[in-house]
Amino acid sequence: RGKPRRTRNLSHTMNALMAQEVFSEACPASAPFFGYMGAAAALIFANLGAAYGTAKSGVGICSMGVMHPGLIMKSIIPVVMAGVIGIYGFIIAVVVGTKIKEPAGGGGAMVVPQYTLFASFGHLGAGLTGGLSGLAAGMAIGIVGDAGVRATAQQPKLFVGMILILIFAEALGLYGLIVALIMSSAGGGTCPST
């Protein structure tokens, strides 16, 4: 009488599974999602910036190379600097991704989370900081590189000025990398085991 046997078994199994998890407000089951989103944001946004910088400067190099093919190798510097922005995003994504800890236990044992919400938000912030800084730097490098290589082909004295502007644009991505590494190394505490 009462509940059918199948329903009783299912509810007993669900209760047993829920009793073996010790996720809390400080260490919810969703915490790794935010950490992985930080790693993804770092790589995606930095690569968007690197791709834009490469494409925009590449258009300028090709346009300039029609009239001055001897200057192509000298004008490849903006493309290299845009590629470095992608490396910054890759570094942040690897650092953040390796710090995400999966819950211990499982199977018949109690599931104990190892990754705090504080750490996950720190990693999300680190990824967004590095990724969006890389996006801004890549856009700046692309615009300066496009105009700079065209102008340098007509007036070679502009080359040093173009390089200085590119260095300051690259520094924006470097600032994001440094702050992201600091944010990702902030301690997140430990999850309660009971």
Please give the average per-residue pLDDT across 45-67, as a whole number: 94
Length of the chain equals 194
Residue-wise pLDDT tens digits, 21-30: 666 777 888 8
**Rounded to whole angstroms, how far apart are CA atoms 126 and 96?**
8
Q: Which two tokens stand for residue 14?
A: 């669900």
Global pTM value: 0.83
Cβ neighbours, 10 Å, residue 143:
18
**Rounded to whole angstroms, how far apart are CA atoms 12 and 108?**
15
Residue-wise pLDDT tens digits, 119-171: 899 999 999 999 999 999 999 999 999 999 999 999 999 999 999 999 999 99
Please state, rounded to an integer, the average pLDDT across all residues of the chain. 86
Residue-wise pLDDT tens digits, 101-112: 887 776 667 777
Residue 192 makes CB contacts below 8 A (sequence gap 6+) with 22, 24, 26, 27
Please give the average per-residue pLDDT across 178-187, as a whole number: 90
Judged by phi (left if over 0) then psi (alpha if -120 to 50, else beta), residue 189 lies in left
User: Which residues on neighbouring strands pair with residue 104, listed in sequence order?
Assistant: 112
**Structure confidence at residue 45 (pLDDT):** 97
Whether 122 contacts 188, CB under 8 Å: yes
Per the model's pLDDT, the better-predicted residue between 3 and 128 turns out to be: 128
